[in-house]
Amino acid sequence: MILPVNNQNHTPFFSAKKQNKNEKDYTHDTLLPNNLSTRMRIGMDKFTNAITLYSAKGFKGSRNANFYEFLTMGQIPYLIGSGMLMAVFNAANKHYNLFDQPSAKALGNKMALGVVLYALLKSASKPLVTAPVHWITGIDTERPYAKVNYELPDDIYDTDITNIEYHKVFESVDFSRWDLLLMDPKSGKPRNDRYDKIAKRLGMGTNLKDSDQEVKPRIKEIVEKTSAAKSITSYLWAAAGVALAFQKPWESYFNVATLKFWDTKKFGHSMKILGESFVKSAKALYKGDGNKYKHAGKFMIFTPLTATVLGVLNVMRSEHKPSKLDSADIIEKERKYVVN
């Protein structure tokens, strides 16, 4: 099936069933705000789809299964693997000899906490790169959009042939969705409004005739650098999380840890100790334990920190200069062009 290249203003209707407009959230590819609620909603949607719809399609070998679904299902081994990693170090503990249990438990708990902090710091550290880049350049490298995808019907009774995928505008640097950044004419703003602002922020000037053409190479460069810095630093922060989990002060939390939130007294106490243990562990990581590697903790903290700062600074560095285009080469917005 050949799909329209740009379905932004189209609402294809392949279904035999009368289409109900409320059935899907989006009828065309839609730029979404990058805020907490959207991110949460997208995360939840992807997770539930990964473990239900996409997995079911995958196990059936659906001809509509695609790369997006495959990538989304990548969450499954992460989650199961995390749980399994915790289990490997904890599940057999209760079968050990009584005298061996405390030491096995202490190690197991640290391993489990290491898994949790690895995941937490890995995802929480990404904005440390992307947020400064956004503030400084005006480019939101994480901007999401909803993509309306059209599938082949499984059979003649299959009327629901659309599904929504959540992507990011700059998810692919080779095929970025530049078109989604153009302003809707209904908004009353110039079509290149977003590109104008970015150009201004990047010091490329204002009132550019074709700001989109001017800034695209620069945006591409920034997105690539941000992506590279994010990939490297997030794993370094994750490693710092594991190092933090292996500090002795956590043991006082493990002694009182409970997830029974309905027992408010105990749960509140455990949360208090959690906070205290976190602070003490962070200090312990920084100070080291007095052996010859006492600076290892500082190294674990300052390496990702330095890498993050350098990563952001690297984004600011650019060899791209505004191109000197001849006025004849510049596409005028008011004119209509025909592409042969």
Partner 1 sequence: MQTNLIQNFVHNLRTPSSERKTPEFDIHHELQTKTFIKPNKSNGYLVKSNIFDAPAIMAKDFVYDLKSVKNGFNGKADDHQLGKINDVGLKLGGLAIAAYLYTKRQSPMTKAMEFIGLGSFLASMSLWPKLAIQLPAYLIHGFNVQQQYVDSFGRKKSFFQDPQFLAWDAYSNEKLEKIGDWMGIPKDIPNRNEFTKRKMQKVAVQNYTLWMWTAGFATPIMSALICNQLEKPVAKWLGKINNNKNNQNIKNIGDLAKEMQDNSIKNKVNSLLSINQNKVITDDLIEELAKAITTGFDPQVTENVNKDLRKLLQTNLYMINENTLNAITANAENALIDAGFEKETIGQIIPSYKELLKSFDNENGFFKIAGNEEMLEKALTVYTGKLYEKLDKYNSFAINNPQSNLKILSNNEIEDIKRILIGAEAEENPIMQGLKKEPFAVLNHNNQKLINTVADAFNSLKSNISATEKFIQSQLGCVQETTMANYWNDTIDTFVHGLGLKSKDIDQIKNDRLFATSFLRNAFDDIASDKQNYKNFMTKLIEQIAKQEKLMKPGDTREIMYSDAGNTKLDNFIDKSFKSFQEKIMTLPGYKPSFMENTLNSMIGTGGQDFESRNSLGSLKQLYKDLAYNRLAEVKSSFFRIINTLDLYRRLAIGDPKYHEALHNKLPRALKEEIVELSKITGIAGHTADYLTKFYRRIDPNFDETDLSNIQIKNGRLIYKYACRPADAGKVDTPQDSRLFIESMKLSFENTMHPETESAFGRNKKLLEEFKKYRSMVLHDVGNTTYFENSYRNIKEDATSLASDNKIFIEIGAATDEVLYNFCKRSSNTNKWLKMFSTAGAALLGVTVLAQFFFGRMQTPQITATQKDKTHA
Among 17, 60, 283, 298, binds partner 1 (CB under 8 A): 60
**C-alpha–C-alpha distance, residues 328 and 202, integer Å:** 25
CB count, 10 Å around CB of 65?
16
Among 87, 279, 316, 330, binds partner 1 (CB under 8 A): 87
Task: Tell me how many residues contact partner 1 (CB under 8 A).
Answer: 69
Burial class (CB in 10 A: 0-12, 13-18, 19+), 12: middle
- Give, in order, the Cα–Cα distances in Å from 196 to each of 76, 90, 181, 203, 216: 41, 56, 11, 11, 11
Taking CB under 8 A as the rule, which mask of x and - marks residues 125-164 in contact with partner 1?
A: ----------------------------------------
Q: Is 96 in the site for partner 1 (CB under 8 A)?
A: yes
Q: Which ranges in the chain belong to alpha helices (H)?
A: 36-51, 53-60, 67-72, 75-90, 101-124, 126-137, 193-201, 211-245, 250-256, 264-287, 296-316
| Closer CB to partner 1, 40 or 120, in the complex | 120
Which residues, 216 to 255, sit near partner 1 by CB under 8 A? 220-222, 224-225, 227-229, 231-236, 238-240, 242-243, 246
Stretch binding partner 1 (CB under 8 A), from 93-101, 132-140, 160-168, 266-274: 93-101
| Closer CB to partner 1, 89 or 270, in the complex | 89
**C-alpha–C-alpha distance, residues 83 and 116, integer Å:** 9
Which residues, 18 to 37, sit near partner 1 by CB under 8 A? none
Enumerate residues 6+ apart whose C-beta is below 8 A from 132.
312
Q: Is 4 in the site for partner 1 (CB under 8 A)?
A: no
- How many C-alpha atoms does 11 have within 13 Å on its Cβ side? 7
For partner 1, the binding residues (CB under 8 A) are 54-55, 57-63, 65-67, 70, 73-74, 76-85, 87-88, 91-92, 95-97, 99-100, 104, 172-175, 220-222, 224-225, 227-229, 231-236, 238-240, 242-243, 246, 289, 291, 293, 296-297, 299-300, 303, 314, 318
